[in-house]
Amino acid sequence: MQTATTIAETRRIVRDARVAGKIVGCVPTMGALHAGHVSLIEAARRECDFVVVTIFVNPTQFAPHEDLEKYPRPFKNDLEKCEAAGADLVFHPSVDEMYPVERQVNLHVGDLASRWEGTSRPDHFDGVATVVLKLFNITLPDKAFFGAKDFQQQAIIRCLCRDLDVPVEIVTCPTVREESGLAMSSRNVYLSDTERETALAISRALTNARDRFQNPQSTVAEVRQQLRQDLEAVDGLELDYATVVEPVELTESDDEQPEMVALVAARVGKTRLIDNMLLHSSEQGS
């Protein structure tokens, strides 16, 4: 496995792979890798001939009050995970390498970024879209792999590729969960044992929403309302949002569709957690 810290070196290595006729896959990350990230690298390994993992804690997607400085950066451990999962190249640039001068051009995402996560983090997805496009331009992948846990993010990246004619296939991989049901997240390390138990209410509520959605007697509005009520009743959990939306534009609709998605964001202690679950009608099954 190779590592690179500069854009020029990364482009040279990837160019050599493409000249050799290899299909290039990219797994963008901010490091602090866990089993969910590893599953993305392994998926890229199965589908591609050359796998690039990017590790960059992107400052433009953090608000001033968020945990940029405290964000975990176990780089040596991350490299070991990348190599074990089959990565060919790890691109690990500095902030100065990615943003060397004051930027005159930034991406702005429309309505899709203004709801749900965008309400709590107004400029977050502009920062995400900008850095992802930069990473695509540097690594020139055929495919890029994202986790379903950040459902709104992968929806926005899909729109980015569609609207700006970026020739990258976006592959969304299933959420990886701990044995308890808690969705894997780099922020889980901040949870105390008690807070971790409280956080399990999120996955339980999502599972209940999935089951209710498959009940022909339940309406979408009822499933949405009960999801909120389930989480509002949990001591120690401060609900940000809990909803059921259609899976492309992420808008609330009371018209049942064959597939919808339940989205949740909540704070447990000082840690903000997000999770989601795809909902399938009883005709489709689970």
Active site residues: 37
If you ran DSSP here, which 8-state letter would residue 244 be given?
E
Q: What ranges make up the beta strands (E) of the chain?
A: 2-4, 24-29, 50-55, 89-91, 143-147, 169-173, 237-245, 259-268, 271-280
Backbone dihedral angles phi then psi of residue 127, each to the nearest 5 degrees: -65, -40
Lookup: tokens for 171: 């592959």
Q: Bridge-partner residues for 273, per DSSP?
A: 266
If you ran DSSP here, which 8-state letter would residue 178 be given?
-
Helical spans, DSSP H, in 214-258: 220-232
181's torsion region: left (phi>0), alpha (psi -120 to 50) or beta? left
Nearest to 60 by CA among 108, 114, 130: 130
Q: 269 exposed, middle or buried (CB, 10 Å; 0-12, 13-18, 19+)?
A: middle
Cα separation, 56 vs 205, in Å, equals 33
Name every residue whose Cβ is closer than 8 Å to that of residue 153 and which is 6 or more positions away in sequence: 117, 125, 128, 146
End-to-end CA distance of the chain: 39
Instruction: Compute the C-alpha angle 130/245/247, nearest 5°.
Output: 55
Residue with tokens 């996955």: 203
